[in-house]
Amino acid sequence: MTKHFAAIKGLPLLAVLAVAVLVANLAYAQAPATGTPAPTEATPATTPPPTPPTKPIVINWKLHKLDGNVNLTINPDGSSDFSGGFKDKKPYDDWDISIAVKSSTGAIIVYHWEGDASNGVQFSKTGTSAFLADDFSSFATKHSWAGRYVFHLTAAGRKKHYEEMEAKRKKLHEEAEAALKAKNKKLAEEKKAEEKTEAGAELQWEENYDRQHPAAASNPPTSGGGSSIGSTISSVVSTIGSIGGDIASFF
C-alpha cells in the first residue's frame, strides 16, 4: 500500500500542475473475514473562517459512520500532519481516504492515505512542501475543504468472496443432482432455481462492486482486486473544485 501527498496549483489564464508525492510502504496483516459492513462517507465542501497567517490551519473531521476522526494540520512553514483513524475492525478491507484543501487563488492540496483496516486504523503522515511554504498565506486568507473515504476489498478479500459464492453454488448444484437421483423432481427444481438465483445475485454483486470501485474492475477476483491510488482523490478534487471555478481549468 502507499500513502500520498499531492499539490495542484492553478494560476490565472494558465494551466499549471505541481505535484509532490511522498511514498511509504505499509505492512499487511492477515485477518479472518467477518462480513462487517464497509461504509462510504463524504463531506460537502466547507469554508471555515480565515486563519491568521502566523497560525496553522487545522481541520478536524469527526467520522459519522465509523468510531473515529481525521485531523489535518498545515503549518506556515509548509509542514503538514495528516492523521487519524477509527476503532471499527474491517477484516479483508482497505481504507482509502482523501482530504482536499483549496486556497483563495484556486490552488488545491490533496492529502491521501490508504491501508489495511482489518484491525481498525491509526495513521499519521507528515511532510514538508515548498509549495505550501510559499503559498500558505493564500490558504490562510480563505480556504475550503472536502473529504471522502471508501473501503475496498483486498485482493485476498475478493478471492475469498468469490470462493465462498462458488462453494455455495456448487453445493446447490450437488443437492439438485442428488434430488434427481432420488427421483425427487420437485426438490431438484427448487435447488436449480436457488442455484440460478445465487448466480444472478453474484453477478449483480460484481457489477455493483466494479461500478463503485472501477480501479478493481480490471482485476479478476481470483488474481487480484483491491484498491487503487486516486479513487478518492478525484472525488474530493471534483467536490472542492466546484468552489470558485472549474477544477479542470487547472490541468
Q: Is residue 96 exposed (0-12), middle (13-18) or buried (19+ Cβ within 10 Å)?
A: buried
**What pLDDT is recorded for position 203?**
81
Residue-averaged pLDDT of the chain = 76
Kindly report the pTM of this predicted structure: 0.68
Cα 109 from chain centroid?
17
Mean pLDDT confidence for 109-133: 92
> Measured over all CA atoms, what is the biggest interatomic distance in the chain, rounded to whole angstroms?
84
What is the CATH T-level fold of the domain 3-153+227-250, as seen in this structure? 2.60.210
Task: Name the DSSP class of 249.
Answer: G
Please state the domain extents for the chain. 3-153+227-250, 156-216
Per-residue pLDDT tens for 88-101? 999 889 999 999 99
Q: Which residue has the higher pLDDT, 1 or 213?
A: 213
**What pLDDT is recorded for position 226?**
39
Task: Dig out the grid coordinates for 116 from the structure.
Answer: 489495511
- Do the bridges between strand 108-116 and strand 121-128 make them parallel or antiparallel, or are there none, so unpaired? unpaired
**What pLDDT is recorded for position 147?**
96
